[in-house]
Amino acid sequence: MNQDSAKKQNLALFDLDNTLLAGDSDYNWSLFLINEGLLDAAAHHERNEQFYRDYQNGDLDIYKFLEFQLKPLSQHPKQFLDALHVKFMTEVIKPMMTQKAQDLVNIHKAQNDLCIVITATNSFVTKPIAAAYGIEHLIGTDPEMIGGEFTGDVSGVPSFQQGKVTRINLWLAERGQQLSDFETSYFYSDSHNDLPLMKLVSQPVAVDADATLTAYAQQHGWSQISLR
């Protein structure tokens, strides 16, 4: 796609957890596995809670978290995990999907904007969620797969903090594009962890934002909305 054709299309980036979703898919996936008897509650619940607090505080060690989060994927066949995810979508995710979020996505799709979910959560968990919102493109943290099965390791750059900048630039470059090609670029997020990418788009939007992002948005005159 050349630059002139990109000018005719805007870019709409959406964070997922606590933005499009009224909750956190990563955190709830671990709780779901515990409830399904696939993770030991005593061993995993406390660590899950601590990682979530670290994320909120902005000091999450992404690689330690991914080691924790991706290991369960390596302990089961992909076919079993796919079936499990269908249940996860029905019981956990669908109740967290809001009509306001869907309406926002629909507005951008109706305008023929290039819509992408960009999330730190692994792409196995999040790809079906993006699809449920009608968003084809997803940039998530990719679990490594060998022979069609998960290894428990991460593949490539985690889509977290500055990593989101790296990943969107790589993704667009594969299409012969860059952020500056788009006349208007939006990024909707709730988290101060997304400030590196929010600072690069022309229309950053704080969505049900945490205190740090709310303060930054107020200081810089960014739009603030709620999808709840």
Q: Determine the pLDDT at residue 3.
A: 47
**Angstrom distance (rounded) from CA 150 to CA 201:** 34
Mean pLDDT of the chain: 94
What does each C-alpha distance from 9 to 2, 17, 114, 133 come to in angstroms? 11, 26, 7, 20
Nearest of 175, 170, 185, 212 to residue 58 by alpha carbon: 212
- CATH number for 152: 3.40.50.1000
The question of whether 142 is a catalytic residue gets the answer: no
The answer to whether the beta carbons of residues 17 and 23 sit under 8 Å apart is: yes
Q: Determine the pLDDT at residue 8.
A: 81
- Band (pLDDT 50/70/90 cuts) for residue 2 is very low
If you average pLDDT over residues 84-106, what whole number do you get? Answer: 98
**For 44-55, how does the pLDDT look when each residue is reduced to its tens digit (9 = 90+)?**
888 889 998 998
Is residue 1 predicted with pLDDT exceeding 80?
no
Q: φ, ψ for residue 150 (rounded to 5)?
A: -75, 140
Structure tokens at 154: 């991460």
Is residue 14 predicted with pLDDT exceeding 70?
yes
What is the rounded (10 degree) CA torsion for 51, 32, 212, 162?
Answer: 70
If you average pLDDT over residues 63-83, what whole number do you get? Answer: 94
The question of whether 17 is a catalytic residue gets the answer: yes
Domains in the chain, number: 1
Q: Determine the pLDDT at residue 17.
A: 97
**For 174-198, how does the pLDDT look when each residue is reduced to its tens digit (9 = 90+)?**
999 999 999 999 999 999 999 999 9
Between 46-50, 79-83, 124-128, the lowest mean confidence (pLDDT) is in 46-50
Domain containing residue 184: 3-225
Which of 4, 15, 103, 210 is an active site residue? 15
Q: Determine the pLDDT at residue 5.
A: 47
Q: Determine the pLDDT at residue 7.
A: 53
Which of 4, 17, 142, 194 is an active site residue? 17
Structure tokens at 107: 């507005």
The angle, 0 to 180 degrees and rounded to 10, between the axes of the packed helices 78-88 and 123-132 is 40
**For 198-225, how does the pLDDT look when each residue is reduced to its tens digit (9 = 90+)?**
999 999 999 999 999 999 999 999 999 9
Is residue 31 predicted with pLDDT exceeding 80?
yes
**Angstrom distance (rounded) from CA 161 to CA 12:** 18
